């Protein structure tokens, strides 16, 4: 057992003999074995015990046992008491989640206070097997089938290579006692159902089921790492070119992981895969995803734009980054997209700046006849995101004088008879 754990620590580079580590000590067989093993290997460790006050005198018994064990082994001992039920009620979470949040928050605080390199917890092979089975029953992707990992930030798990049975044999050979949490013997929690009922049945089919599931999970970790390397190329990308994914054979997983970073779930991704061009989806985290031919676009959800009335010349604020300056000048014709020059005598104040509305029309500069702005934008191959952001400037009669940044209306053009221009500058 000692050799097995040593090799596992070395393989995953979990611990450094020169560093100090915390061991989460509950008093149960797993955490007691972890403490003894690390101490026997020569690692510098402190023990930390959390009393959640959920099991009356049994909780106090566990604390006293842990304190006495650390005194015997001359290992520094830290403890903390939590009012777990009150925390759960206040934060509207389950008791199990409350205990988890309290425990790991305290671990992080203590880690910083005494300067440890990591917190060692006693998850073993059976725990990762149970996790795989639970995730499989609930429905999961590849990552959910990889089980519990040996390292998660500062949380370290040196015992994932050994089973509960091996741990008990190790403690028996050491003559070391431990305490038993009575709630672990009740089949009223999903994990306990798997532990006490499902796994024993599976072992009747194959006694090596735990080892086989663990080995499968480790194999899937390798596959996950390959996929992660591919997915990482698309993290932070706002435009996903679907043609670029064809070389991977299947694109759904990559799309799912890409969309996940913006808050989209699996159901939405499946809908995206089947959606036609022009459809978009919104995530709870404030992003919109657009299906645009052979690509997917994502951007923050559109913020409302307050219609702006411009009664006279001056500079006006359109948004946090953009200003519109309106002023009369000597005759000239702009060739820049950010500046419109109009015949001042033909434009009646007040002007209005707003987003394009359904049914808006104009006579595009250089053309005869009117055209819907929606058609004009489609001709320019603007996508839905671009169209819904598009601004127009209208005159006192609600005539579109400028499709901002794109085109002015021919009726308000600067001509040979123009004596003064009205210039509109955006920046």
Q: Is the pLDDT of residue 311 over 70?
A: yes
pLDDT digits (tens, 9 = 90+) for 366-393: 999 999 999 999 999 999 899 999 999 9
Per-residue pLDDT tens over the stretch 66-83:
999 999 999 999 999 999
Give the pLDDT of residue 190.
84
Quick: pLDDT tens for 32-64.
999 999 999 999 999 999 999 998 899 999 999
For the cut 80, the answer to whether the pLDDT of residue 321 exceeds it is yes
What's the pLDDT at 319?
87
Residue 190's alpha-carbon distances to 92, 185, 196, 350, in angstroms, are 20, 12, 10, 68
Q: What would the pLDDT profile of 244-296 be if each residue is shown by its tens digit?
A: 898 888 888 899 999 999 999 989 989 998 999 889 899 999 999 999 989 99
Each residue of 412-424: pLDDT tens digit? Answer: 999 999 999 999 9
**pLDDT reported for residue 365:** 94
Domain boundaries, the chain: 2-122+157-185, 235-300, 308-426
Could you give the C-alpha distances from 1 to 35, 175, 242, in angstroms and in order? 14, 15, 50
CATH fold label, 2-122+157-185:
Rossmann fold (3.40.50)
Under CATH, which architecture does the 308-426 domain have? 3-Layer(bba) Sandwich (3.50)
**CA angle, corner 425, sides to 420 and 426, nearest 5?**
165
> What local confidence, expressed as pLDDT, does residue 183 receive?
62
Q: What is the DSSP track for 59-109?
A: HHHHHHHHHHHHHHHT--EEEEE--HHHHHHHHT--HHHHHHHHHHHHHHH
Per-residue confidence band for 188, with pLDDT thresholds at 50, 70 and 90: low
Identify whether the C-beta of residue 135 lies closer than 8 Å to the C-beta of residue 50: no
Look up the pTM and report it: 0.66
Round to whole Å and give the CA distance between 292 and 241: 10
What is the three-class DSSP state of 381?
Answer: coil
pLDDT tens, position by position, 194-204: 988 999 999 99
Beta bridge pairs of residue 156? 120, 151
Distances (CA, A) of 22 to 48, 141, 153, 281, 370: 7, 32, 14, 45, 75
For residue 252, give the 3-state DSSP assignment.
helix
Q: Which strands make up the sheet holding 44-51, listed edge to edge?
A: 77-81, 44-51, 20-24, 118-120, 155-156, 151-152
Q: How large is the average pLDDT for residues 124-132?
A: 93
At residue 88, does pLDDT exceed 90?
A: yes
pLDDT given for residue 164 in this prediction: 92
Going edge to edge, which strands form the sheet with 314-317? 314-317, 323-329, 421-426, 339-343
Give the β-pairing of 151-152 and 155-156.
antiparallel
Q: Summarize pLDDT for 346-364 with one digit per residue, the tens.
A: 999 999 999 999 999 999 9
pLDDT surpassing 70 at residue 10: yes
pLDDT at residue 149 tops 90: yes
For the chain, what percent of residues have pLDDT higher than 90? 80
Per-residue pLDDT band for 184 (boundaries 50, 70, 90) equals low
Look at residue 166 in the predicted model and tell me its pLDDT: 95
How high is the pLDDT of residue 253?
A: 86
Helix (H, G, I), strand (E, B) or coil at 299: strand
At 246 the pLDDT is 87
Q: Residue 293 has what DSSP assignment? A: T
Q: Of the candidates 168, 208, 122, which has an alpha carbon nearest to the alpha carbon of residue 1? A: 168
Mean pLDDT rounded to a whole number for the chain: 93
> How remote is the C-alpha of 188 from its chain's centroid?
31
């Amino acid at each position: 057992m000692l050799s097995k754990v040593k090799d596992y620590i070395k393989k995953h580079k979990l611990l450094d003999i020169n560093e100090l580590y915390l061991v989460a000590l509950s008093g149960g067989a797993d955490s007691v074995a972890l403490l003894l093993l690390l101490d026997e290997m020569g690692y510098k460790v402190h023990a930390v015990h959390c009393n959640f006050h959920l099991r009356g005198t049994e909780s106090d018994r566990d604390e006293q046992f842990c304190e006495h064990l650390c005194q015997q082994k001359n290992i520094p001992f830290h403890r903390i008491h939590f009012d777990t039920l009150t925390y759960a009620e206040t934060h509207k979470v389950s008791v199990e989640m409350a205990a988890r949040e309290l425990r790991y928050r305290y671990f992080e605080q203590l880690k910083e206070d005494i300067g440890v390199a990591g917190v060692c917890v006693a998850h073993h092979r059976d725990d990762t097997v149970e996790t795989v089975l639970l995730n499989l029953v609930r429905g999961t992707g590849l990552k959910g089938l990889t089980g519990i990992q040996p390292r998660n930030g500062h949380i370290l798990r040196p015992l994932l290579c050994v089973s509960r049975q091996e741990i008990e044999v190790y403690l028996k050979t050491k003559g070391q006692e431990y305490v038993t949490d009575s709630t672990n013997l009740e089949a009223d929690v999903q994990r306990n159902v798997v532990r006490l009922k499902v796994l024993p049945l599976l072992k009747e089919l194959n006694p090596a089921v735990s080892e086989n599931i663990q080995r499968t999970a480790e194999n899937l970790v390798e596959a996950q790492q390959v996929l992660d390397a591919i997915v990482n190329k698309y993290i932070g990308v706002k435009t996903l070119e679907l043609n670029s994914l064809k070389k991977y054979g299947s694109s759904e997983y990559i799309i799912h992981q890409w969309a996940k970073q913006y808050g989209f779930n699996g159901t939405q991704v499946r809908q995206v895969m089947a959606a036609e061009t022009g459809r978009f989806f919104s995530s709870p985290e404030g992003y919109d995803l657009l299906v645009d031919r052979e690509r997917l676009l994502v951007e923050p959800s559109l913020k409302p734009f307050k219609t702006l009335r411009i009664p006279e010349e001056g500079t006006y604020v359109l948004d946090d980054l953009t200003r519109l300056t309106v002023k009369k000048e000597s005759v000239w014709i702009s060739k820049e997209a950010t500046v419109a020059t109009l015949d001042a005598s033909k434009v009646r104040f007040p002007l209005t700046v707003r987003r394009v509305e359904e049914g808006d029309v104009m006579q595009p500069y250089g053309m005869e006849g009117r055209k819907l702005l929606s058609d004009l934008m489609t001709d320019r191959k603007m996508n839905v995101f671009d169209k819904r952001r598009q601004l127009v400037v209208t005159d006192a009669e609600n005539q579109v004088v400028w499709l901002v940044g794109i085109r002015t209306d021919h009726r308000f053009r600067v001509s040979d008879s123009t004596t003064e221009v009205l210039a509109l500058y955006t920046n």
